[in-house]
């Protein structure tokens, strides 16, 4: 009888944990939807607020800038107040921001709305992962983190073709008011259903941390070659598909490539579908054989450079449809490949600083997105609706330039991270994985660069640089 009761209690506990995770992960789905909703509404926004390309790019710059700036503070808020409160606040902020955006009649008010939306968006993913960590054993954490990211991708999918159709039929105000209202109301479900810890487990919030201590943690993570490598991997692999999906892909396909709204939305959906299908495969492959992590990064970066050379160098600027589809499909791999950056942060930092290092790495991609969105808007100039193939060819040179910059910095810090591992190995210290010296390796590190912490594994199992 007692064993049956214990089994029933265990089953109930699993169901409760599943319900809590699904409730929390739904907030992340909404966050991704709101984040990418402007990607298919850029032309309508330009017309509604009477703005040009540079001002239109400011929407994404502001929203993603807020997101990037809030990554480290969000981790501190979750530690201090618990994920339930932070997720509830996130849903409220996102709902309020989208409602303001629906009824905004001026550009300044619309900017304010997107800033509020970015604030709520920034508070979601870290909070959901904390829920997973609290309610599931460590062996399930990586799997559920990957599923959470895939779950959020559905929000991106809904923000392409379905949102395009709703905008065409219901109009701007109704579409965004419905999205904002539902998110605002969902905050009640989060407050009632999500628990910071399993039932019966006491909640122990972390004490407040002084600003000086926070800065010290960030500096300590930043000087680690593995963290810096992760930063540039995330910077270089994530920004291209994100910039296309968030804002500039839709105008490019419609204005420069002559596609219909529905066709453009379908092509942009590849940015989500390809990542959803291949993301788990890439994660499983690099998890089992971590030595393949950087070769996969280099393969993607090489292919991305070739893709942009083709798109920007095509005579006349109007690229055949199948080539455009293949190009977007390949660039979609950037999102799942960017997850390799977080594994680098985890492996080359002590466990007490992995959260800070992860936040630092996450900032890399969003800094690149912010820079790209602003640069493309400035280079387009004038009215986005009047831009043609030649205009987009010039504007997208900003993407190519940032891709080359990121590839160069990734190469620099890959060599330094390898040098740190080789130096530690020669000193007889434990390293995440032993590697062989190659012709391209740095012979020695400069004084002060070879520190033990960068090559101290944060978890079990060997990893590759």
- Flag whether pLDDT at 455 surpasses 50: no
- Flag whether pLDDT at 451 surpasses 70: no
Comparing CA positions, the residue from 295, 296, 300, 304 lying closest to residue 327 is 304
Question: Looking at residue 10, what is its pLDDT?
Answer: 58
What is the average per-residue pLDDT within 438-455?
Answer: 56
Instruction: Give me 315's structure tokens.
Output: 């005579």
Comparing CA positions, the residue from 359, 339, 424 lying closest to residue 149 is 339
CA distance 262 to 239: 24
Question: Looking at residue 217, what is its pLDDT?
Answer: 67
Determine the straight-line distance between the first and last CA of the chain, rounded to whole angstroms.
Answer: 53
Question: Looking at residue 89, what is its pLDDT?
Answer: 95
Asked which of 179-188, 367-376, 406-415 is least confident by mean pLDDT, the reply is 367-376
Question: Looking at residue 27, what is its pLDDT?
Answer: 93
**81 or 253, higher pLDDT:** 253
- Flag whether pLDDT at 302 surpasses 90: yes
CA distance 360 to 113: 26
Q: Do 350 and 455 touch, CB atoms closer than 8 A?
A: no
Angle, CA 270 vertex, CA 266 and CA 271 arms, to 5°: 120
Q: Do 46 and 107 touch, CB atoms closer than 8 A?
A: no
pTM score of the predicted model: 0.75
What is the average per-residue pLDDT within 318-336?
Answer: 90
Residue-wise pLDDT tens digits, 205-243: 555 566 667 777 678 888 888 889 999 999 999 888 888
Q: How confident is the model at residue 458 (pLDDT cuts 50, 70, 90)?
A: very low
Cα 265–chain centre separation: 20
Instruction: Give me 377's structure tokens.
Output: 């808007």
CA distance 463 to 417: 12
CA distance 41 to 19: 33
Q: Do 357 and 224 touch, CB atoms closer than 8 A?
A: yes
CA distance 39 to 164: 10
3-state secondary structure the chain: CHHHHHHHHHHHHHHHHHHHHHHHHHHHHHHHHHHHHHHHCHHHHHHHHCCCHHHHHHHHHHHHHHHHHCHHHHHHHHHHHCHHHHHHHHHHHHHHHHHHHHHCCCHHHHHHHHHHHHHHHHCCHHHHHHHHHHHCCHHHHHHHHHHHHHHHHHHHHHCCHHHHHHHHHHCHHHHHHHHHHHHHHHHHHHHHHCCCCCCCCCCCCCCCCCHHHHHHHHHHHHCCHHHHHHHHHHHHHHHHHHHHHHHHHHHHHHHHCCCCHHHHHHHHCHHHHHHHHHHHHHHHHHHHCHHHHHHHHHHHHHHHHHHHHHHHHCCCCCCCHHHHHHHHHHHCCHHHHHCHHHHHHHHCCCHHHHHHHHHHHHHHHHHHHHHHHHHHHHHHCCCHHHCCHHHHHHHCHHHHHHHHHHHHHHHHHHHHHHHHHHHHHHCCCCCCCCCCCCCCCCCCCCCCCCCCHHHCCCCCCCCCC
Question: Looking at residue 459, what is its pLDDT?
Answer: 42
Q: How confident is the model at residue 450 (pLDDT cuts 50, 70, 90)?
A: very low
**19 or 359, higher pLDDT:** 19
Q: How confident is the model at residue 52 (pLDDT cuts 50, 70, 90)?
A: confident
CA distance 413 to 407: 10
Q: Do 109 and 100 touch, CB atoms closer than 8 A?
A: yes
Q: C-alpha distances in angstroms, 124 versus 118, 190, 224, 358?
A: 10, 12, 27, 15
The length of the chain is 465
Q: How confident is the model at residue 454 (pLDDT cuts 50, 70, 90)?
A: very low
Q: How confident is the model at residue 410 (pLDDT cuts 50, 70, 90)?
A: very high
Comparing CA positions, the residue from 176, 232, 183, 219 lying closest to residue 29 is 183
Residue-wise pLDDT tens digits, 86-123: 999 999 999 999 999 999 988 999 999 999 999 999 99
Residue-wise pLDDT tens digits, 140-198: 655 676 677 777 777 777 776 778 788 888 888 898 899 899 999 999 999 998 888 88
Instruction: Give me 162's structure tokens.
Output: 């379905």
Measured over the CA atoms of residue 420, residue 426, residue 431 and residue 435, the dihedral's sign is positive
Average pLDDT, the chain: 80
Q: C-alpha distances in angstroms, 72 versus 77, 105, 123, 192, 409?
A: 9, 33, 10, 26, 23
Measured over the CA atoms of residue 172, residue 175, residue 181 and residue 186, the dihedral's sign is negative
CA distance 323 to 329: 10
1 burial type by CB count under 10 A (0-12 exposed, 13-18 middle, 19+ buried): exposed
**339 or 9, higher pLDDT:** 339
């Amino acid at each position: 009888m007692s064993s049956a009761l214990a089994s029933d209690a265990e089953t109930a506990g699993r169901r409760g944990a599943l319900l809590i995770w699904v409730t929390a992960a739904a907030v992340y789905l909404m966050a991704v939807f709101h984040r990418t909703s402007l990607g298919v509404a850029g032309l309508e926004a330009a017309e509604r607020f009477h703005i040009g390309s540079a001002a239109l790019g400011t929407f994404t710059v502001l929203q993603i800038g807020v997101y990037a700036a809030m990554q480290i503070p969000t981790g501190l808020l979750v530690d201090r107040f618990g994920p339930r409160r932070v997720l509830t606040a996130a849903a409220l902020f996102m709902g309020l921001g989208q409602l303001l955006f629906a009824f905004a009649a001026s550009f300044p008010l619309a900017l304010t709305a997107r800033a509020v939306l970015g604030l709520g968006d920034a508070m979601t993913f870290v909070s959901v992962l904390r829920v997973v960590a609290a309610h599931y054993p460590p062996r399930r954490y990586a799997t559920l983190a990957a599923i959470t990211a895939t779950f959020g991708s559905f929000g991106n999918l809904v923000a392409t073709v379905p949102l395009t159709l709703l905008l065409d039929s219901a109009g701007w105000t109704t579409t965004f008011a419905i999205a904002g209202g539902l998110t605002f109301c969902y905050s009640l479900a989060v407050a009632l259903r999500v628990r910071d810890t399993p039932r019966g487990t006491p909640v122990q919030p972390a004490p407040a941390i002084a600003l000086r201590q926070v800065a010290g943690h960030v500096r300590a993570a930043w000087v680690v070659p593995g963290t810096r490598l992760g930063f540039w991997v995330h910077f270089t692999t994530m920004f291209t598909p994100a910039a296309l999906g968030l804002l500039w892909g839709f105008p490019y396909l419609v204005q420069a490539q002559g596609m219909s709204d529905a066709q453009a939305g379908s092509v942009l959906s590849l940015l989500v579908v390809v990542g959803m299908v291949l993301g788990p495969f890439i994660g499983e492959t690099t998890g089992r054989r971590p030595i393949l992590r950087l070769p996969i990064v280099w393969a993607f970066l090489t292919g991305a450079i070739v893709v942009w050379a083709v798109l920007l160098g095509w005579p006349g600027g109007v690229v055949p449809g199948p080539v455009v589809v293949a190009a977007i499909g390949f660039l979609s791999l950037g999102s799942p490949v960017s997850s390799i950056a977080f594994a680098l942060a985890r492996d080359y930092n002590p466990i007490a600083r992995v959260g800070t290092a992860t936040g630092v790495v996450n900032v890399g991609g969003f800094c690149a997105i912010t820079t790209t969105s602003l640069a493309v808007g400035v280079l387009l100039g004038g009215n986005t609706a009047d831009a043609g193939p030649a205009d987009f060819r010039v504007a997208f040179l900003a993407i190519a330039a940032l891709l080359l910059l990121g590839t160069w910095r990734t190469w620099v810090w890959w060599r330094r991270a390898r040098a740190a591992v080789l130096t530690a190995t020669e000193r007889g210290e434990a390293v995440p994985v032993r590697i062989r010296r190659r012709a391209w390796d740095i012979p020695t590190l400069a004084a002060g660069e070879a520190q033990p912490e960068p090559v101290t594994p944060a978890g079990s199992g060997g990893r590759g640089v």
